[in-house]
Amino acid sequence: MSTTDHRALAEDILNGVGGADNVTSTAHCAARLRLVLRDPAAVRTETLKALPGVVTVVKAHGELHVVTGEGTDLVHQELELLTRRSVGSAPELEFSTAVFSVRGLGGRTIAMLSAVFAPVIWPLAAAGLLKTAVVVLGQLGWLDPDAGTFTVLHAVSEGIFLFLPLFLAVTAARRFGAQPFTAMAVAAALVYPSLLDLGETQSTTTGPTGSLLGVPFPIMVFAASVIPILLIVLAQGWVERTLDRMLPASLRSVGTPLVTLLVVVFAALVLLGPTVVIAGEGLVAAVEGALGSAPWLAGAVLGGLWHVLTILGLQWGMVGAIAESVGEGTSGVPTTATLPAVIAAAVVAQAGAAIAVLLRTRSAARRKIAGASSVAGLVGGISEPMIYGVTLPLKKPFLSGMLGGAVGGALTASSGAAADQAVPPALAGVPAMAAHGSVVLLVIGLGVALLIGFLPTVLLVDREDPDEDPDAEPDPEPTTTSTMMSVAPSAPSSADRSSRAAPPSAVEILAPMPGRLLPLDAMEDELFASGTMGAGVAIRPVNGHVVAPVSGMVIAAPAGGYAYGIRTDDGIDVLVHCGSHTPSLKGEGFTPAVRRGDRVEVSQPLVDVDLELVHGVGFDAVTAVVVTNAEEFASVTPAEVTEVEPGELVMTVITGEKEDPDGAAQEHPGERSEDVHT
């Protein structure tokens, strides 16, 4: 068990890099601290390498990598506290060619949205179910809308949705490297009741309703918004880092949050807000125009894109238009009062997709959220939990729901169905929507939306792997090129000991992919090139189909799909690491075929890699094949060839105990520490 004083080690590391003022940002993975420094010349590399607990130090791509092995996350926490930054994971959005490449940006955005919502998805689902119950009881007349009980239940169920930006500000700040509580203060200012009142007025009138320093501007409703608050927190992180560089240390504690609050809130109100409001007004005008001439077209576009508009924060102009026109709908004369029926088609279609996921997925965690959220969506019109917890992360269900919303929206808009009062856009609102227009066409439209959302999802959705522990937090995905430096597997079995005690034998490690065989120092990642990760070879691949180089148990397989650690029956730990810097792709371009805990046979597929994507973002696809516990064996010898095909020899491991310089055998491998470098 480690006895490292993580606080003391963090202080020593800070001293070795020139102090806390020299640190711009920190991040970590399983075994590596990543520091971005203002003045790299201030680093005392040899001092750092000599610290107890530091394995090595590498400078790469503008960062200082300090390899600490076990307890890296704890050292990182202490570093964050010492440098005044928030304790949490590394910024999710890194300013690199990988993030800003057009290809794959949508996938990374969806992954980011899903991750930001993950901590609040269950409170959202619970509030959604309660809100659905309140709506149904109100519709049945069992709850008096003017009674105190209704008011309290409505506040309990509606509060998290209204103030959603405050919750997202915290999770986004931890992913974007911003201060969480400053982010909450920014979000609180933007949903402050007085601003909400101005925003609600603006949503049903034209012209600016607010002014700042004498400059008039339209007020945006930031309540319940998603993308706007994420963009704001991203900008906040940049402002904070800029101020930290500019302000002296004595002013930073108060000066950075003070200036950040003023700058970010002002910019959100006068730059981002008006942009969203103008876009929303244009959308309302376009929809109102289309409703008069081609209601089916307006219904199709709005029904298909409704949840995209909601994510972008463009829905409030439409909500205001609906509020103005409630009661105006008459049979055969569609107006904006018919839009709740169109929105209901969009919500019901996503609910159909969520129900399909519920029936199809093998993930217990996904099944739980799909069941609760589909009920809230189908009955009460609460779509956030099922969008962010079910359909959007899986992509195809979300697209199926968009298609169902488009077809169903065309039919419900053509029905002319409209209510004389505000109603939820779901099955609970159907009786009120039937006050005008064709009830039959309304019901058909909702039924078609549900069916189209359901069927493609059932046929096309990935069933997902069963959860190892449905209630456990997922393994954090490393964000650097090395992932498996510190794995703590179970103690070697008696079979392991007996096999290693056997007479020396030659074990062949085969090529996992076709390509040119290179020395390990051809890798861009210094930890591989220097041999720190183990002995082995590198392969410049000609295609991205990667197979197992040995038979054994998969002991490590990070979520990004870029690396696989396999332990053979002889106790040899073989790591296949696809490319350098590929962890920052967050799984984009990698299609895994195995997971940790699987038993694989030699030449069994491990992963398919989109080499075109890897090269397109400027990363090297050269793949490392290393024996990470090479020091436990007599020798690891690369093959003397230049071109290899899958299944051909790339290196040979001679088992048996090494001899020390005096001829005595080293520590028995079966009795080694359980800190296995994989």
- For residues 584 and 575, what is the distance between their CA atoms, to the nearest angstrom? 19
Asked whether 116 and 172 are in contact (CB, 8 A), the reply is yes
Instruction: Inform me whether the pLDDT recorded for 480 exceeds 90.
Output: no
Q: What percent of the chain stands above pLDDT 70?
A: 77
- For residues 510 and 646, what is the distance between their CA atoms, to the nearest angstrom? 7
Q: Where are the domains of the chain?
A: 6-90, 294-464, 494-671
Q: Give pLDDT tens digits for 398-416.
A: 999 999 999 999 999 888 8
Higher pLDDT, 262 or 90: 262
Taking residues 656-669, report their average pLDDT: 49
- For residues 155 and 163, what is the distance between their CA atoms, to the nearest angstrom? 11
Fold adopted by 6-90: Gyrase A; domain 2 (3.30.1360)
Instruction: Point out the catalytic residue in the list 9, 17, 29, 229.
Output: 29
**pTM greater than 0.95:** no
Identify the weakest region by mean pLDDT among 100-104, 302-306, 411-415.
Answer: 100-104
Active-site residue 29, yes or no?
yes
Instruction: Inform me whether the pLDDT recorded for 493 exceeds 80.
Output: no
Query: Position of tokens 């390498």?
Result: 49
Higher pLDDT, 223 or 503: 223
Q: pLDDT band for 664, please (50, 70, 90 cuts).
A: very low
Q: Give pLDDT tens digits for 126-170.
A: 888 898 888 888 878 888 888 889 889 989 988 998 888 999 998
3-class secondary-structure state, position 663: coil
**Per-residue confidence (pLDDT) for residue 310, from 0 to 100:** 81
**Per-residue confidence (pLDDT) for residue 197, from 0 to 100:** 60
Q: pLDDT band for 498, please (50, 70, 90 cuts).
A: very low
**Per-residue confidence (pLDDT) for residue 91, from 0 to 100:** 39
**Residues whose CB falls within 8 Å of the CB of residue 171, separated by 6 or more in sequence, listed in order:** 115, 116, 117, 118, 119, 120
Asked whether 523 and 565 are in contact (CB, 8 A), the reply is no
Cα distances from 292 to residues 32, 282, 285, 321, in angstroms, run 61, 16, 11, 15
Q: Give pLDDT tens digits for 159-206.
A: 998 888 999 998 888 777 788 899 999 999 998 887 756 544 444 444
Alpha helices in 472-595 (DSSP H): 494-501, 526-529
Asked whether 643 and 517 are in contact (CB, 8 A), the reply is yes
Q: What is the CATH number of domain 494-671?
A: 2.70.70.10
* 15 class by beta-carbon count within 10 Å (0-12 exposed, 13-18 middle, 19+ buried): middle
